[in-house]
Chain A
Amino acid sequence: MTPPPDFASDFTAATFVPTVGPMPMHPSDSTRARSRGAMIAADISRLTRPRIAVMVLATVVASMWLTAGRGVGGPTLFWLLLGTTLVAASSSIANQILERDADRLMPRTARRPIAAGRLSVPAATMLATLMVVAGGLMITLAAGWQPAVAALATWILYVVVYTPMKMRSPLNTAVGAVSGALPVAIGWLAADGPARLAAGDAAGALAVAALGTVLYLWQFPHFMAIAWLYRSQYAAAGMRMLTVDDPSGLRAAGQALAASLAMVPVSLVLAVPSGSIRLFLAAAIASLVYAVATVGFAVRRDDASARTLLFTSLGSLLALLTASVVFGPPV
């Protein structure tokens, strides 16, 4: 449920949310109330990381689409996506509870509500628990227990395995990337993927497996770019990112290069169920552009190339998912 390790969260928190000082005093009560409302909204956003949730939902929808086309929709889809959103938000809160000490040491995360002390740990724990339970129940009632188990497995992998691992080993990206790819399983199971596979729809299963693999591989260049941009903050917080262990960025570049190249053919498999030439070419172009940006980062290893890679990663994934839905309804 938790896409890439820290995924856009780190990126968005640092890029789009202005790091400002204390709120200025306002003369009128209504202005003060408005600013208080804005602060609460900003805190909710920081706490639940909606951009991550949107990407998770897009993944679930693409997976269901590749599996069943228009076969799933209406209330089932609504409750499934709402449940998935709650579980994703819960994992973000749990992550921030566990990392609150480290978050305080990094400027880009120091303003998170738990790290800044605006939300107490017991309250956050209760909120995260309620959300994961409610989300799991919603998924179970809407789509059955199998996708709910997949959602909970993702939550556990992200919160219990990946989050502590960030402080211990640079291998954390390889583990966190699994939790980023698992939402594909939620969509596949919710769309009766196993039954369809048993009935002979191997092409659909192959495409969904490809989508999961694409999401796994996609995270390496994406996260290496983030790890490069914030390497000094990660180092200050004691997080074992690859760019902290090897500040030359060579190892991060090597891993990113391997993953981006392997992603090219795997992304093409998304076109198998539909046989769509347009989807095939769109996937080829999106993944090649991503590979080129990764080569650029491997060559230059500076902030500009890392930022380019970061933006390209988001654009290419969006293009892939959109093309899968627009051009690739299963025949």
Chain B
Amino acid sequence: MSRSQAETPKTGLAHAVACVLVAVTSVLLCFGALVTTFDAAMAVPDWPGTYGHNMFLFPWAEWFYGPWDLFLEHGHRLLGALVGMISLVLAAVVWRTNQSPAVRGLAAAAVLLVVVQGVLGGARVLLDDKTVAKVHACTGPLFFAVAVAIATLTRRSSSSQSATSTAAVRSAGGLALASYVQLVAGAQLRHLDASVDPATFRWLVAFHLAGAAAVAALSVAAVLCTRSCGQPIARRWSLAILLLVGCQLALGVGAWMVNWGLPSGWLPASWAFSDPLLARSVWGATVVTGHVVLGMMILGASVVLSIATGVLRSAVKSTVRPQQADRLRERAFA
């Protein structure tokens, strides 16, 4: 095998593993969102075990047919462990298949993030701390975004894509960033402490609403900027995101009504549920959880769009060959 062949990244396996990681992580995020919706985080009070058992040896019938909150929390832990293992496999595959340093960096970030997330999950249970729960809720989407980025960058065609306009790159990158900030703000509202004062609460709601407006504006900008960019895939993704954002706004209105009832003013007066039963009902839980999960999907789609428009395109090259390195060295160190 010639050197150039040996240095060409074999993207197929890495892409497949990354896609599996994205799929399993999506399910994990749904479980995590449901855990918060049903306040099930403390359904299993010990960690890393489950009621004294090794987590993996906990009787499955007791879990599967047990109480709903136990099903959610233990399922969340099992899925988290699975995602951790897939992340390790992905990192090994990325290294073994000679991926670009940017992809290796992202794979390393995925491993670091999944370890941090596991520790945070344990700390959330052991300390029974709302702020740790917020950090845990912010780390999940970031990990998901990294997994999506790896899956996109390891596609065979990703390194051959040409860059689009600067405006398209900026709107797509801004959309990804704004989507994540929205998830951070949403996590503040989802994990509110009972002691929070009304002024802080109203300020948070206003911040989340402003973020929603920014995401909506950026998604429209992304559609306009990718309209004639010469990248059909970017145009399709921007349209899909616009559709998702429309659904998300509708779900946001629904989540508001579930949590705080029909709007009587510009901002709700208190963080307390107007009707706790409604918030825990199947309809209420679906709306609120769907709002969170759709937010993560918008983030993932924005990452794909960013890469489609050319963000990280130049960073996807595999490591330079020795002859190239010598030329670069001569140029750089002349």
Contact = CB atoms under 8 A, between A and B. Distances in A.
B184 A247 contact: no
Interface in B92-149: 100-106, 108-109, 112-113, 116-117, 120, 123, 126-127, 129-132, 134-135, 138-139, 142, 146
A94 interface: no
B319 A251 contact: yes
Given A231-B332, A231-B333, A254-B102, A262 B315 contact: no
Nearest to A271: B131
Nearest to A285: B181
B333 A247 contact: yes
B319 A250 contact: yes
Given A254-B101, A271-B131, A299-B312, A277 B109 contact: no
Given A262-B113, A265-B120, A280-B188, A254 B142 contact: no
Contact of A275 (B130, B185, B204, B325): B130
Contacts of B324: 248
B329 interface: yes
Contact of B135 (A202, A235, A265): A265
A79 to B, nearest CB: 33
A203 B129 contact: yes
B109 A248 contact: no
A231 B329 CA distance: 10
Contact of B116 (A202, A248, A251, A262): A262
A265 B142 contact: yes
Contacts of B247: none
Interface residues of B, number: 55
A256 B319 contact: no
Given A247-B332, A254-B101, A298-B315, A277 B188 contact: yes
A295 B102 CA distance: 10
Contacts of A280: 131, 134-135, 188
B116 A265 contact: yes
Contacts of B134: 268, 271, 280
B202 interface: no
Interface of A: 202-203, 206, 231-232, 235-236, 246-248, 250-251, 253-259, 261-262, 264-266, 268-269, 271-272, 275, 277, 280-281, 284-285, 288, 292, 295, 298-301
Interface of B: 100-106, 108-109, 112-113, 116-117, 120, 123, 126-127, 129-132, 134-135, 138-139, 142, 146, 173, 177, 180-181, 184-185, 188, 193, 196, 200, 204, 207, 311-315, 317, 319-320, 324-325, 328-329, 331-334
20 contacts: A232-B333, A236-B333, A246-B319, A248-B325, A250-B315, A253-B102, A254-B108, A254-B315, A257-B102, A261-B112, A265-B139, A269-B135, A277-B196, A281-B188, A285-B181, A292-B173, A298-B102, A298-B105, A299-B314, A301-B315
- Per CB-CB distance, the 6 closest pairs between chain A and chain B, nearest first, are A254-B105, A254-B101, A262-B112, A265-B139, A257-B105, A258-B108
